[in-house]
Amino acid sequence: MLSALFGSAARVKILNLLLLHPEKRYLLRELAAELQVSPTAIVRELKNLTAIGLIGEERLFNGDTKETVKQRKKEKKYFRATESFILFPEIRALFIKAQILSSQKFLIGLQKICQPKFLALTGLFTNYPEAQTDILIVGTIRRQAFLKLIKELEKDLGREVNFTILTDQEFRYRRDIMDIFLYNILEGKTVVLLDNLHKKNL
């Protein structure tokens, strides 16, 4: 899906790694080894991505500070996501959502361990920190099996995933008292994957 949107599988792999780990910087050879993509393809795609500003370059000498770089003849070029890029939050959220939505392992596993009446993505998946959670599930769930599934998802995403599980009664109570936690989820930036709750109960 993302390959069709962004032009090439190599470009998607680079963006997926750098956008999900914006705090890290990578050498060209590290990207090639990590992504199993030829250095030639990496160089071509990095040229395009740095040209628009989504990916930035840093020239450092073995971890030295930028102030000492000018004093060194040998430099190493590092690449990392540009968090100040104007569309960075939206593009990063797209990659995160695409990763979980296309993860058959997660979705199939979820269907095996629970039959939720309501399932929604928010928080990190929609770039909406006000939600204070990333996944909301209403229904009965096998908790230990779900925790194992979440651990696998966190490993795939490379970061912690916060989740909230509510029973039907808890959901209705929080809704009735205008609980701010639930209100922010229902009225904020949320992707609803499943909604089997009757309209009058919402």
CATH architecture assignment, domain 2-86: Orthogonal Bundle (1.10)
Domain boundaries, the chain: 2-86, 103-201
SS (H, E, C) the chain: CHHHHHCCHHHHHHHHHHHHCCCCCEEHHHHHHHHCCCHHHHHHHHHHHHHHCCEEEEEECCCCCHHHHCCCCCCEEEEEECCCCCCHHHHHHHHHHHHHHCCHHHHHHHHHHECCCEEEECECCCCEHHHCCCEEEECCECHHHHHHHHHHHHHHHCCCCCEEEECHHHHHHHHHCCCHHHHHHHHCCCEEEEECCCHHHC
pLDDT, mean of each 10-residue run, the chain (202 residues): 66 88 90 90 92 88 54 73 91 81 74 86 81 91 91 79 93 93 90 75 46
pLDDT of residue 138: 93
pLDDT of residue 199: 53
pLDDT of residue 67: 54
pLDDT of residue 202: 44
The pTM for the full model equals 0.63
